[in-house]
Amino acid sequence: MTPGRPLLALVAIAFLLLAGGCRTASAAEPPLIQPDELVKVLRSTAGPKPLVLQVGFYVLYLQAHVPGARYVGPASSPDGIRTLREAVEKLPRSQPIVIYCGCCPWSQCPVIHPAYDTLHGMGFTNVKALYISRNFGVDWVQKGYPVTTGQ
């Protein structure tokens, strides 16, 4: 981690707190996929790969993200929800999709539930949320799972 990254993470956390960074009520709990499961799926040569969408904050996406993940923006904002809808509107409703954020502990994430509710409401039937119990750095990066940085 470079010296500037902890500061960027603190800025992102401060943004979350100022933006009301607590979880909102959800129509349904999203089915979960564990990090090690997703790594196996992404490395496998069998079967279709899920579309992986980072539905959190851009600064965190730039620092490190799941290889192949597409950034759609924080699903806690109207712009993020609009971008999410646009990203998937033409896909078959059976398309495997994995959403994740990793900004904060799972129980406090302000974006996973709105993203799941949006996709579920659009009729997607194969959506899972990547279970990040603490944050992406601890639960993915520090475990040595593959990452991509930058855009």
48: domain range? 4-141
Instruction: For residue 67, name the pLDDT band (cuts at 50, 70, 90).
Output: very high
Domain membership flag for residue 149: no
pLDDT > 70: what percent of the chain? 82
Domain membership flag for residue 150: no
Count of other CB atoms within 10 angstroms of residue 2: 9
Task: Specify the amino acid at residue 110.
Answer: P
Rg of the chain on CA atoms, in Å = 14
Q: Is the distance from CB of 114 to CB of 75 less than 8 angstroms?
A: yes
pLDDT at 5: 52
CA–CA separation, 19 and 6 (whole Å): 20
Count how many domains the chain has: 1
CA–CA separation, 31 and 29 (whole Å): 7
Instruction: For residue 142, name the pLDDT band (cuts at 50, 70, 90).
Output: very high
> Which residues have CB under 8 Å from 2's CB, separation 6+?
none
For the segment 40-50, what is each residue's pLDDT rounded down to a tens digit? 999 999 988 99
pLDDT at 48: 86
For residue 31, the domain's CATH number is 3.40.250.10
Domain membership flag for residue 28: yes
For the segment 86-115, what is each residue's pLDDT rounded down to a tens digit? 999 999 999 999 999 999 999 999 999 999
pLDDT at 72 over 90: yes
Domain membership flag for residue 71: yes
pLDDT at 87: 96
pLDDT at 151: 80
Domain membership flag for residue 147: no
Instruction: For residue 150, name the pLDDT band (cuts at 50, 70, 90).
Output: confident
Domain membership flag for residue 102: yes
